[in-house]
């Protein structure tokens, strides 16, 4: 197995453009709209504004906040391809209208999973179409440093304990809805275009271009891209990502034809910001127990759940996923009753679905049925009691709980509680305004990270 230290990445030959990017954002006041396909892309930011609705009024609210980064959370990873296309077109149109109304240049960003799952190319293409950029160049940067997701020589890796694992060799590539067969991004793009685009047609922006050529070298690559093409970008550290953004800013001086498809670590550089450092969560508003809800079924989440359960910091209550798919509600109701009693006694609770994989069904429909049952159970809990905090594990689960159960329509990002795990604070209008909500991605952290997050929250009670 190749080790990260075995790679010859080359030295950076140009200054870090961070301060230049900050100055440019202060001067240009670009409206940066990040359309997030699940609610976890805020994980490298602090102070960003978020909305969970695609109404024109909410897009306008984002603009009025004057924050550098602005997130529209769609949950489109849980949608079918038609609905994902429609919602991205709508946001593209509303964002372009808002930018024109406020006379601000617009960055359109389709935030994606760093392990390559999601509706590609549907989402960035639809976003561009909605904003009247039909020939947009898609700049694809699936870089997420905090979780060890890097791209070197066009190959996307997961770094695990220093080992370089091609992403196609991980469980993420076997995702029932968004699986794939290759770690080479040019071939991955071709696969997702169903071979309508050939690997040789995909443009590469290599580490050599980034580290030797610097922002000017990146700008040359972007400006040379044919209309409607895709450029896949190497990145192994934050400085690489910032050089890419600096090159994008130079290219945008002659054309605004670019739409970004990026994971979370490329986002701070758009505003000339450092990635947000971990911060302590706000202190709890009461002495009730907390509520942890685990919906993600990736192997990492299962190991994290086992580690949390072993600490005995929370009482683990499990709902049978098979019952939820069959439409039964008894198990969910029983769990809710027990959870309310425990939380009222000051004891924290973990609610999860059973870990058995449910095969033989449409995976998106199955996930939706399971999420329906989890939401019913959690809705019954928070309708009767305010937990001291809520942790939601898994992007699809997190979005539905945040919007349908907790009623979060607008809010702000407090910052990451640990690297890659954001904390939100809900705005007025939510079911429990000011509630600390931790949005924990299904594919982030080590085996002990969920237990560490719960310990930090328990210490703030």
**DSSP calls for 130-170:** HTT-TTPEEEEE--BGGGTEEEETTEEEEEETTEEEEGGGS
Tell me the HSE value of 277 on the side-chain side, using a 13 A CA sphere: 0
Q: Picking from 171-175, 186-190, 339-343, which range would have the lowest pLDDT averaged per residue?
A: 171-175
Tens-place pLDDT, residues 23-68: 999 999 999 999 999 888 999 999 999 999 999 999 999 999 999 9
How far apart CA 153 and CA 382 sit, in angstroms, is 48
Q: Is residue 285 part of a domain?
A: no
Q: How confident is the model at residue 161 (pLDDT cuts 50, 70, 90)?
A: confident
Q: What's the pLDDT at 363?
A: 66
Same domain, 311 and 231: no
Same domain, 325 and 258: no
Mean pLDDT of 221-236: 98
Same domain, 225 and 349: no
Q: What's the pLDDT at 26?
A: 97
Helix axes 122-130, 81-101, angle to 10 degrees: 40
In 151-237, alpha helices (H): 185-192, 207-208, 214-223
Domains in the chain, number: 2
Same domain, 205 and 311: no
The domain boundary residue, chosen from 201, 236, 270? 270
434: alpha, beta or left? (left if phi > 0; alpha if psi -120 to 50) = left
The domain boundary residue, chosen from 220, 238, 270? 270
Q: What's the pLDDT at 360?
A: 55
Q: Picking from 62-66, 216-220, 391-395, which range would have the lowest pLDDT averaged per residue?
A: 391-395
Give me the CATH number covering residue 408.
3.40.980.20
Q: Is residue 125 part of a domain?
A: yes
Q: Is 421 helix (H, G, I), strand (E, B) or coil?
A: strand
Same domain, 223 and 97: yes
Mean pLDDT of 138-161: 96
Range of the domain at 295: 291-458
Give me the CATH number covering residue 96.
3.40.50.10840
Same domain, 262 and 300: no
Same domain, 197 and 54: yes
Quickly count: other Cβ atoms within 10 Å of residue 312's Cβ.
Answer: 8
Q: What's the pLDDT at 406?
A: 95
Same domain, 264 and 300: no
400 neighbors 371 (Cβ within 8 angstroms): yes
How far apart CA 439 and CA 94 sit, in angstroms, is 26
Q: Is residue 142 part of a domain?
A: yes
Same domain, 301 and 166: no
In 385-434, alpha helices (H): 395-400
Q: Is residue 135 part of a domain?
A: yes
Tens-place pLDDT, residues 319-365: 887 777 776 678 788 999 999 999 999 999 999 988 666 665 666 67
Q: Is residue 166 part of a domain?
A: yes
The domain boundary residue, chosen from 238, 270, 302? 270
Q: Is residue 278 part of a domain?
A: no
Q: What's the pLDDT at 8?
A: 81
Cα-Cα-Cα-Cα dihedral sign, residues 249, 84, 367, 329: positive
386 neighbors 286 (Cβ within 8 angstroms): yes
Q: What's the pLDDT at 5?
A: 78
Same domain, 301 and 433: yes
Q: How confident is the model at residue 178 (pLDDT cuts 50, 70, 90)?
A: very high
Q: Is residue 183 part of a domain?
A: yes
- pLDDT(228) > 70: yes
Same domain, 73 and 17: yes
How far from chain centre, in Å, is Cα 441? 7
Same domain, 309 and 240: no
- pLDDT(179) > 90: yes
Q: Max Cα separation, the chain?
A: 64
- pLDDT(204) > 70: yes
Looking up tokens 């945040």, which residue turns up?
402
Q: What's the pLDDT at 296?
A: 75
Q: Is residue 361 part of a domain?
A: yes
């Amino acid at each position: 197995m190749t080790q990260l230290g075995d790679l010859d990445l080359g030295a950076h030959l140009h200054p870090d453009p961070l301060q230049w990017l900050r100055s440019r954002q202060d001067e240009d006041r670009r409206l940066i709209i990040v359309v997030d396909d699940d609610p976890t892309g805020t994980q490298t930011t602090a102070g960003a504004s978020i909305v969970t609705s695609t109404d024109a009024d909410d897009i306008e609210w984002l603009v009025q906040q004057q924050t550098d980064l602005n997130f529209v959370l769609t949950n489109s990873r849980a949608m079918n391809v038609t609905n994902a296309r429609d919602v991205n077109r709508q946001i593209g149109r509303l964002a372009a209208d808002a930018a024109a109304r406020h006379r601000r240049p617009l960055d359109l960003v389709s935030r994606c999973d760093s392990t390559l799952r999601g509706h590609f190319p549907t989402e960035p293409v639809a976003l561009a179409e909605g904003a009247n950029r039909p020939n947009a160049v898609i700049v694809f940067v699936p870089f997420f440093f905090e979780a060890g997701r890097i791209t070197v020589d066009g190959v996307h890796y997961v770094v695990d304990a220093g080992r370089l694992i091609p992403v196609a060799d991980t469980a993420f590539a076997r995702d029932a809805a968004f699986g794939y067969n290759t770690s080479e991004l040019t071939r991955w793009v071709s696969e997702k275009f169903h071979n309508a685009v050939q690997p040789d047609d995909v443009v590469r922006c290599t580490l050599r271009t980034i580290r030797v050529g610097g922002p000017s070298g990146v700008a040359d690559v972007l400006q040379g891209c044919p209309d409607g093409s895709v450029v896949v970008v190497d990145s192994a550290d934050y400085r690489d990502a910032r050089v890419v953004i600096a090159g994008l800013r130079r290219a945008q001086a002659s054309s605004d034809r670019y739409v970004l498809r990026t994971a979370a670590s490329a986002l701070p550089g758009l505003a000339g910001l450092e990635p947000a450092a971990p911060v302590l969560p706000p202190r709890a508003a009461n002495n009730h127990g907390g509520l942890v809800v685990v919906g993600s079924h990736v192997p990492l989440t299962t190991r994290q759940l086992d580690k949390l359960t072993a600490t005995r910091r929370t009482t683990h209550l499990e709902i049978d996923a098979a019952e939820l798919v069959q439409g039964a509600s008894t198990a969910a109701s029983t769990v809710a009753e027990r959870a309310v009693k425990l939380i009222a006694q000051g004891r924290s609770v973990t609610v999860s679905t059973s870990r058995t994989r449910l095969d033989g069904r449409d995976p998106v429909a199955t996930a939706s049925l399971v999420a329906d049952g989890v939401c019913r159970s959690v809705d019954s809990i928070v309708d009767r009691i305010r937990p001291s905090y809520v942790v939601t594990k898994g992007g699809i689960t997190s979005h539905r709980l945040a919007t349908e159960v907790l009623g979060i329509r607008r809010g702000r990002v407090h910052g990451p509680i640990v690297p890659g795990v954001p904390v939100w604070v809900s705005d007025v209008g939510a079911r429990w305004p000011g509630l600390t909500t931790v949005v924990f991605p299904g594919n982030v952290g080590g085996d002990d990270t969920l237990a560490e997050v719960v310990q930090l929250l328990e210490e703030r009670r």
